[in-house]
Structure 1
Amino acid sequence: MAKSKIDMTSGPIMRLIVIFAIPIIFGNILQQLYSTVDTLIIGNYCGATSIAAVGTSSQPIEVFMCIFMGIGAGVSILVSMYTGAQNMEDLGKVVKTSVSFTYLCAIPLAILGWIVTPLILGFMQVPADTISLATAYIRIVFLGLLGNMGYNMNAGILRGLGDSTASFIFLLVSCISNIILDILFIAFFHMDVVGAALATIIAMYMSWIASIVYILKKYNYIGFTILPKVLDRKTLMDIIKLGLPLGLNNSIYTVGHILMQSLINTQGSAFMAGASVAGKIMGISSVAISSFSASMATFAGQNFGAKNYERLYKGGRIVPLYSALTTIVLGIIMFAFSGSLVGLFTNDAEAIKYALLCVKIQVPFQWCYCVLNTILNLSNGIGNVKYPTVLNLLMLWAVRIPAAYLIAFFIDGHYVTAGVSISFVFGMIASLLFYRSKSWKEIRKLSTT
């Protein structure tokens, strides 16, 4: 077995969590850099309209990725459980079935995405000066859907095995490639958003190929295959049982994001560009959120599979606290330097003004989302996917969207992102109720026996 694999079932909990999270943190920084470089180079070589086009493009792509990403999360949970239980036979079935499922989903979705992109952008009320650029960008990115899905599935398998270092290496290769290609296509060949999209998909395919080679070399015992060969019906049902609720949650959540983006789009291209730039800054300040959350999911899955309930109970209480503290520190740093950071992306005075406004509204509340996300991944890790699904839907549809529309109608449309902050606070408070749930009480009971 590879030395980079981390066994979460023994040893100091926070030490293992941090060791596992560090590569993910650097990987998250690289992912932010991955998209940030597009925005930075486009902002300096193309303009605010091109920034707006790229900034509004993430939601349509998420529409097609969201259900698959939920399935991928289900795969990662099963891999971590079978790893903890040392069940190599079922582990192999999950890995082989996930490879086949990736191909089965990616190719048809890429074709469908190319066709319906103009319809989605029309629904999102993208301004006339932005829609043609956004259409070109999204359609090209859809050509890279197989590489995107393939890499994310492989990264989930590796995290479930306890290996978080490899994904960072793949992202490093991808990020460097993306930067070089961005400069080549945009700065030298003046290809605008088309160049940014081409750079993105080429880099993503490189990451996918690198992950395939790595898994075949380091983890040949799990039965990973390059091309689809096995689609075990029972294993697929197990994957869907865990992953489909997460995927449907993601899907409905993404529709909500589109409604939010539509509300942002009605404020004009300058505000769209400012919100996009602010999103990059907030992404950097929230790197601890997904890293600690991924660590928690793997920790919970491995210890649940190993029936190490006392350790699971202890980790479930201390990891959310440490992840929140880390997010607070990063948020303070980003808030302090936000003025200088925004200026790196654009020289447009209106876009800068709106970017700083969005940062001031959202960054102070990101630690709430960190607590929420870590607890929900604890729940996912033990196989209780219903609780996170219900809470996420309530947070979005009962709080975020209504609050944003009320703010736009009664106060000022430029403050709509306050709806996001309000939902973070609500979600954190509601997530704490998990510790009073039946499933957690059962873990607590088992930990004392």
Structure 2
Amino acid sequence: MANIEKAREEILSGSIEKTLIRLAYPLIINNLVQVMYNLTDTFWLAKLGRAELSAPGTVWPLLWFMISIGSGFAVAGFAMVSQYVGAGEYKKASKVAGSLYSLLLALSTIIAFLGILISPLALKFIKVTPDVYPYALKYMKIVFGGIPIALTLYAFNFILRAVGDTKTPVKVNILTILLNIILDPVFIFGLNYGVLGAALATVISEGTGSVIGGYLLFTGRVSIKLSLEDLSPDIKLYIKTFKIGLPASISESTNSFGFVLLNRIIYTYGTVAFATYTITNRLTNFMFAFADGISQAMGTMVGQNVGAEKYERAKEIAIKAMLTNFLILIFGTMLFIIFREEIFRFFINDPGILKESEKVVKYFAASFPFFGIFSAVTNVFASAGHTKKNLTLGLIRLWGLRIPLSYYLGKTLKDSAGVWIGMGLSNVIAALVGFLWFLKGSWMRRIVE
């Protein structure tokens, strides 16, 4: 409790810049290690070929779609826990955290079962090319079976970040990611499991992290302790969680389904275009590791300051985080453009993919800094508990802009360049709309009593 009180005081009254850095740097390290794993995964699978390389990228939006049903409620739990801590209501914060944990465990078990059942139909829906299909199906069934593991680990991260502890989740995540990096080549090549080995390595590693996270939460070895009583059903609290979390779940699921459709659009231009998209995602994730860490730390600070009704301080925190993100991503984008050929050749020396990557740089890369602003704005809305705003903003970016622009520009130009242009425009326009909405200040109202 003393640790929570100390962190709360710093978040509510300390130097914004110093506190933001203190909270952000463990998250940035965590994100970088996660990216290094993704890059390692991509590196090993690229040694098997284009089809194997494309399998995780194909499955990712489908997995995101299934997980998003539960992750929206994690967003609601984060908002309530952080705001209760900001208001000094620590017992209520523990009760919300416990309810979130048990709710996600129950939901994720159902989601995993349904996900495995629909796997073949889902892959056929997005028109996966025949060479990729068998690999994607194997990968998909394994990682869908691990959804309960992924969501309970997700809950552990959200709960501790909400109370201002960003270091402990990072230590657990780094352990799981390093284990994953070790297991990847062993399972893919040593045991000759190929793509299936990459999926098994992911589930085993996340399972280890989930067990450790649960142990820390229920033994009180972290700043918040959960009891069996906290896990007991609380209908009133569940109703409130659903009320706040449902828009976030709808937002996440509609966004993820939108990316499923985007995969379908990209696949119409062949495996080369999709493999290029997969590598591009891995590379941009490296840049966004810094911006996401800043946004996540900002979310903790905004949530607690909104809970304490310090709205102007919350706004100042958000603006400083957005400016930082924008500058970081400008620098990262410049490096991406300058060293584009060397970076792509590191993964796979494929003339078709190298040629396609020229279009990525020409039509898509300039929008990356704007996505940093968009990400920060959505984190502000989520941390304040105003999830309907996130839902609307997400629908505008993906369904109002990205999908129709990518589809029609691709058809009009009869080239994948149209897809990259559509994706870039969606980032820029959505960021500007989100920033103007943020400035209106309608999010400056807490959701807890």
Cα deviation, residue 239, structure 1: 1.6
Deviating more after overlay: 136-145 vs 285-294? 285-294
Cα distance between partner residues in 1 of 2:7 and 2:415? 47
* Normalised TM-score (structure 2): 0.93
| Map 1:50-65 → 2, pairs under 5 A | 50-65=52-67
Contact 1:48 1:351 in 2 (8 A): no
Aligned to 1:383: 385
Deviating more after overlay: 131-140 vs 234-243? 234-243
Cα deviation, residue 60, structure 1: 1.1
Q: 1:204 aligns with which of 203, 206, 222?
A: 206
Deviating more after overlay: 213-222 vs 271-280? 213-222
SS of residue matched to 1:19: helix
Cα distance between partner residues in 1 of 2:383 and 2:125? 36
Q: For 1:378-422, what per-residue CA distance to the aligned partner results, in whole angstroms no more than 9, with x for missing partners?
A: 122222222221121011111111110111111133221221210
* Residue 277 (structure 2) pairs with residue 275 (structure 1): yes
Aligned to 1:355: 357
Aligned to 1:399: 401
Relative distance call for 1:169 and 1:338 in structure 2 (3 A) is farther
Aligned to 2:18: 15
SS of residue matched to 2:364: helix
Cα deviation, residue 90, structure 1: 1.3
Aligned to 2:7: 6
Cα deviation, residue 432, structure 1: 2.1
Contact 2:377 2:438 in 1 (8 A): no
Relative distance call for 1:219 and 1:434 in structure 2 (3 A) is farther
SS of residue matched to 2:132: helix
Aligned to 2:32: 29
* Residue 25 (structure 2) pairs with residue 40 (structure 1): no
Q: For 1:163-214, what per-residue CA distance to the aligned partner results, in whole angstroms no more than 9, with x for missing partners?
A: 1112211121111111111110112222110000001111111111222233
Relative distance call for 1:221 and 1:175 in structure 2 (3 A) is closer
Aligned to 1:364: 366
Cα distance between partner residues in 1 of 2:240 and 2:254? 22
* Normalised TM-score (structure 1): 0.93
Aligned to 1:188: 190
Cα deviation, residue 358, structure 1: 2.3
* Residue 154 (structure 2) pairs with residue 152 (structure 1): yes
Cα deviation, residue 252, structure 1: 0.9
Cα deviation, residue 329, structure 1: 1.8
Cα deviation, residue 137, structure 1: 0.4
* Residue 416 (structure 2) pairs with residue 422 (structure 1): no
Question: Which runs of at least 4 in structure 1 moved beyond 6 Å after TM superposition?
Answer: none
Contact 2:42 2:53 in 1 (8 A): yes
Q: 2:93 aligns with which of 91, 96, 120?
A: 91
Cα deviation, residue 19, structure 1: 1.4
| Map 1:67-146 → 2, pairs under 5 A | 67-146=69-148
Cα deviation, residue 79, structure 1: 0.9
SS of residue matched to 1:126: coil
Relative distance call for 1:306 and 1:137 in structure 2 (3 A) is same
Cα deviation, residue 305, structure 1: 0.9
Cα deviation, residue 308, structure 1: 2.0
* Residue 344 (structure 2) pairs with residue 342 (structure 1): yes
Aligned-residue RMSD, C-alpha:
2.1
SS of residue matched to 2:12: coil
Identity of aligned residues (%): 26
Cα distance between partner residues in 2 of 1:301 and 1:327? 24
Cα distance between partner residues in 1 of 2:401 and 2:166? 34
Q: Number of aligned pairs?
A: 442
- What residue identity is the alignment partner of 2:226? F
Contact 1:52 1:272 in 2 (8 A): yes
Aligned to 1:447: none
| Map 1:232-243 → 2, pairs under 5 A | 232-243=234-245
Contact 2:72 2:246 in 1 (8 A): yes
Deviating more after overlay: 74-83 vs 358-367? 358-367
Relative distance call for 1:258 and 1:285 in structure 2 (3 A) is same
Cα distance between partner residues in 2 of 1:304 and 1:132? 49
* Residue 264 (structure 2) pairs with residue 262 (structure 1): yes
Cα distance between partner residues in 1 of 2:319 and 2:43? 39
